Amino acid sequence: MIRNPVSRLVLPVCGLLLSGHVFAADGDKPLLQEGKKTLYQRVLTTPGCKLGTAAGDENGQIQPAFSSLYVYKKEEVKGQNWVNVGPDSYGKTIGWLPSSCTVDWKMQLTLAFTNPANRDRLLFFKEKQSLDSILSAPDPVSLVAPLRAKLKRDGHAEGIQAEEPEYFVDLQKQFYLLPILSGEEVMTEDGFYTRLLNVASVSKADETPKQQESVNQLKGFNASVVFVIDSTISMGPYIERTKQAVNKIYDKIKAEHLDGQVKFGLVSYRSNTKAVPGLEYRTKIYADPNQVKDGPDFLKKVADLKEAKVSSSLYDEDAYSGVLSAIDDIDWSPYGARYMVLITDAGAIDGSNKLSGSGLDASQLRLEAGNRGIAIYTLHLKTPGGKENHAKAESQYRDLSNFDSTQSNLYQAVNAGDLTMFGQQVDALAAAITEQVKSAYMGDAAIGSALYAKDDGKKLTPEQKLLQDTALIGHAMQLAYLGKRNSTQAPLVFQAWISDRDLIKQNIPTTDVRVLLTKGQLSDLSDAVSQILKAANEGMISPTKMFEQLRTVAATMGTDPNQLKQNDSARIGELGVLGEYLADLPYKSDVLNLDEETWKSWDGLSQEKFIRTLSSKLRHYQKYNADVDRWVELAKGSDPRDRVYPIPLEMMP
């Protein structure tokens, strides 16, 4: 096994105090982390931690496990180290904790479980060596299988601290902290780079709610399918064929007494009406699934949907606005299974284009859909007239249609825009989703890995792939539904070792990383990215101006002029434009690592791509800021300004 200590990832759990001394923060601010100018010292409380009124007071009140607190002072009393803590960084302190019951938390990073539908449940190991041995083994199955068998039989196994719940734990609904304390990147025997992570975990509840039999609970499982249809010129036949498919499925739903279990909706989109007023609308909801009674009612609501009478100003249409409308303007919460089907014969207007109504690109929309548990299928009609547009559109829609929960890509091409093939795919998709709901309604269990076709080397037809993906996604959505219904919590463990990839299917991630940023940090990040974008736009005209501008910005932000390197190898991360918390994140940043020499070597298209990607992230930060439901209070009684938002690592600059 090849080892690579992840220096950016390692967060050692260490003593917080220096013996025999008292350290106090300046004024009403917490103590700064060593070597930092803006990052304060923070600790997490462990189970049983007591908060006293003074250093040395051992008769305090027990604190909730994993409260995140700021450190204001440090003191030693009778050979024991203590910390004076507060819930926020605005001067409020609440008492003293023995440092022995706290964990130093240098980075505000937490892990989120991926959906376990197509992998085995994550194991929490007591010792790193046990996990190490499995990933080093030529045949990891021989070591893992006996452990899982014993866990299933006895409920415990030697060396295992805990096991991930059977159902999906939704970070949005049941927030939990799974902070990284330290880690190491290794290459397994199968050739995959995997991180061995020392984590800590405590859910909010004192104990995990007892899960009932899934057979009894899945009868309430239902589905919503919302078609998002390009209704510009040339789309008429496909619009009518989609209506026909939905009507056929409603007949089947009625025959099988599944009325109310599957609902269909339809959103239509075109393009910017200021550029071409004759388009009539940019997006329009024709049928909201929450308001559709049955097949005839659906057809009545969409009867007026026809293709546009005039052409748009671009070949690309505003598909992203249609998708965003379906995500934001329809209430998906009543449904266990949530599907969106995008149907188009053109590419999407990029979020950076002045004609865009959403301001977002495929990757941002995919994350927004994922936050709501929505799977996006794309049926891309590769008509002869759009030949020059096919490659760009396919790249966009493949990104949009990645369903991260199961590592499935739900993009489907309809070659030559063949209407018969299109009809078959729409029929197959609608039927597959309905069958998933029927199976759940009849009481089919959802526990364990989904049964789906193995890769035997044979190429699947589009319909076969669609059915295979839909079966897997349906299983993932059932696990999410049951997790929500049972208020499933993260395991009640403290410190343990995990792998961020499945022990057997090592290409499948078990967790993803979220960065917890405060309102102030998000605002500073937005301001810094805006300055970088402004400099980059000037840099396209004169490459040297970009870094000259950034040095000026850094100087106004108080960066030591002696640190502002004038050579071409100076990276953006060294200029002090972006926050200190970014420097230690466990990922390779395109922005932080960019230097003047590299920028000058790029051609115009590469520079433009850099600007476009960064612009779309900036627009997404604005959406995060307005998303009041997902801001989290890490410590009771903390100032609202210290609430955090769990931002996916891939959205950092």
In this structure, the dihedral spanned by the alpha carbons of residues 479, 485, 487 and 490, taken in order and rounded to 10 degrees, is -10
What single-letter DSSP state applies at residue 389?
G
- Using only C-alpha atoms, what is the Rg of the chain? 27
In this predicted structure, the answer to whether residue 81 has a pLDDT above a threshold of 90 is yes
The SS3 call for residue 181 is strand
CA distance 35 to 42: 15
Give the H or E element holding residue 430: helix 419-441
The SS3 call for residue 476 is helix
Mean pLDDT of 23-49: 81
CA distance 593 to 609: 16
For residues 392 and 400, the answer to whether their CB atoms sit within 8 Å is: no
Mean pLDDT of 277-290: 96
* Tens-digit pLDDT profile for residues 411-439: 999 998 999 999 988 988 888 888 888 87
In this predicted structure, the answer to whether residue 23 has a pLDDT above a threshold of 80 is no
* Tens-digit pLDDT profile for residues 625-641: 888 888 888 888 888 88
Dihedral angle sign, alpha carbons of residues 530, 531, 533, 537:
positive
Q: What is the pLDDT of residue 494?
A: 67
Pairing, β 42-45 against β 102-104: antiparallel
CA 175 → CA 111, 501, 514, 520, 644, distances in Å? 11, 22, 12, 21, 12
Mean pLDDT of 162-179: 81
Q: How far is CA 356 from the centre of its chain?
A: 24
Q: What is the pLDDT of residue 627?
A: 85
How many residues would you count in the chain?
653
CA distance 28 to 81: 21
Q: What is the pLDDT of residue 564?
A: 42
In the chain the domains, ranked by start, together with CATH numbers, are 2-104 (2.30.30), 115-211+488-509 (no CATH), 220-485 (3.40.50.410), 516-651 (no CATH)
DSSP state letters, 304-362 = T----SS--SSSSB-HHHHHHHHHHSS--TT-SEEEEEEEESS-B--TTSTT-SS---H
Strands of 202-282 (E only): list them.
223-230, 262-269
* Tens-digit pLDDT profile for residues 231-248: 999 899 999 999 998 988
Q: What is the pLDDT of residue 227?
A: 95
Q: What is the pLDDT of residue 235?
A: 96
Amino acid letter, residue 243: K
Q: Which of 154, 166, 76 is nearest to 116 (CA)?
A: 166
CA distance 493 to 203: 9
CA distance 116 to 480: 9
